[in-house]
Amino acid sequence: MKIVIFNTLYYPYQVGGAEKSVRALSEEFYSLGNKVLVITLGENEDSFNLNGVRVKVLKIENKYWPYNEEEKKPLEKLQWHIRDMSNNKYYKNIKSILISFNPDIVFTNNLSGFSTNIWSIARELNIKIVHTLRDYYLQCSKTTKFKKGKNCKSICLECNLFSKIKKRNSESVDFLVGISKYILDDHINNGFFKEHTQRIIYNGFNLPCKSKKNKKRGLETVIFGFIGQLNESKGIELILESFKSTKGTNWQLLIAGKASDKYIKKLRSINNSENITFLGYTESSTFFKSIDVLIAPSIWNEPFGRVVIESIFNNTPIIGSHRGGITELLSNNPDFIIEPTVKHLCKLLIKIINTPEFLDTFIFDETFNDKFRIQETAKEYLNIFKKLILNN
């Protein structure tokens, strides 16, 4: 089978979990005997092979490259989003690539920068389209549905204008996948992908066998951890505020992730305890060996929450927020799900510090974990692809 995969970013560009998930799927498709071409965006044209997968990088056709730390003016942002509603600049290039590669399936993921015109090109060439929802790009120009520290309960006027064409183009998709029930329902309830065949397929992971950790009974110091993007929506400020209310010194907090010097300074001003260490970028495999429990208190409605499953595969308990897809991932462990507020998080932190054996009640269910293995998720996708091809 020939598969073309679209995703805004691909290795070595990596901002969030979507890039890891798409790469893992691409390489697993290849290992199962398929020809795979990934089309992605960059600051400059490029092409290379990575672990058997062909990668074609297209130079972004918009006002600026959005994945750097340069602050953009409001007018520049507006111009960027207006073009991104329906960007025809890629038409000839992508159409030529698709004709040359002659794929059986076009598999789209995050489309910010490409625009949903990708679907129109595939439809014109009579290629079946499978789309996976990994963010809120179709509904929200920021892709997050998170504004001024709060989740958007509905699509605002500005985003509604930007999303009209995207909603109409969503009718071109042949099969819809959500990486959680939450993100799938959120799009359907807001009028996207009407009457489409759909399925939930959680993100897949290609991780080494778990190493057994010691029980938490008798821990003199509980080591908490946070890993990921350091920003308000991920709950890092909430964590620091919550630890201000803990007493004693029998805890540590390790924070792994990059941020600007200015933001790190702000975080230290919230809580500058000697028990807190900022590690900067850290490989997750190293990080999880260093902590007793992970904190994932996202304020925004995470479509999935990749770090939660990474923690489970590393046999590390997780405190997770009752937001988005995280709730689904911790369905076996309701006692570790919190409302992302200082009051609720602080209460659980103090409980764990005072009685660390509580961490031993976290359930690691191998049967539940199987649905997150990359081998299983890749097979689910390939079965969908095959059925669509047979019906074409």
Residue 69: is its pLDDT beyond 90? no
**Which string of DSSP letters, residue by residue, matches 20-49?**
HHHHHHHHHHHHTT-EEEEEEEESS-EEEE
Residue 211: is its pLDDT beyond 80? no
392 pLDDT band, cuts 50/70/90, is confident
- Asked whether residue 90 is domain-assigned, the answer is yes
Q: Over the stretch 266-286, which tens digit does the pLDDT of each residue have?
A: 999 999 999 999 999 999 889
Q: What is the pLDDT of residue 212?
A: 55
The stretch 88-107 carries a mean pLDDT of 97
Q: Are residues 131 and 249 in the same domain?
A: no
Residue 216: is its pLDDT beyond 70? no
Q: Are residues 143 and 24 in the same domain?
A: yes
- Asked whether residue 38 is domain-assigned, the answer is yes
Q: Are residues 114 and 131 in the same domain?
A: yes
E strand segments, the chain: 2-6, 35-42, 46-50, 53-59, 105-108, 128-133, 146-147, 150-151, 175-178, 197-200, 222-227, 251-256, 276-280, 293-296, 318-321, 337-338
Cα–Cα distance, 170 to 163 (Å, whole number): 10
CATH number of the domain enclosing 177: 3.40.50.2000
15 pLDDT band, cuts 50/70/90, is confident
52 neighbors 26 (Cβ within 8 angstroms) = no
Q: Are residues 384 and 254 in the same domain?
A: no
117 pLDDT band, cuts 50/70/90, is very high
Q: Are residues 238 and 150 in the same domain?
A: no
Give the total number of structural domains in the chain.
Answer: 2
Q: Are residues 229 and 363 in the same domain?
A: yes
CA distance to 154, 197, 207, 232, per residue, from 147 (Å): 12, 31, 34, 11
The residue range of the domain holding 248 is: 222-370
159 pLDDT band, cuts 50/70/90, is confident
The stretch 92-106 carries a mean pLDDT of 97
- Asked whether residue 250 is domain-assigned, the answer is yes
Q: Which tokens is 355 given?
A: 């009685």
- Asked whether residue 212 is domain-assigned, the answer is no
Q: Are residues 63 and 184 in the same domain?
A: yes
Q: Are residues 102 and 239 in the same domain?
A: no
Q: What is the pLDDT of residue 209?
A: 56
Q: What is the pLDDT of residue 367?
A: 85
- Cα Rg for the chain, rounded, in angstroms? 22
- Asked whether residue 211 is domain-assigned, the answer is no
Q: Over the stretch 283-332, which tens digit does the pLDDT of each residue have?
A: 988 999 999 999 999 999 999 999 999 999 999 999 999 999 999 999 99
141 pLDDT band, cuts 50/70/90, is confident
Q: Which tokens is 336 given?
A: 């570790």
Give the orientation angle of helix 74-85 with respect to helix 157-169, to 10 degrees. Answer: 20
Q: Are residues 271 and 330 in the same domain?
A: yes
70 pLDDT band, cuts 50/70/90, is confident
Cα–Cα distance, 213 to 201 (Å, whole number): 29
Q: Are residues 167 and 268 in the same domain?
A: no
Q: Are residues 185 and 85 in the same domain?
A: yes
Q: Which of 150, 83, 193 is nearest to 299 (CA)?
A: 150
Q: Are residues 63 and 99 in the same domain?
A: yes
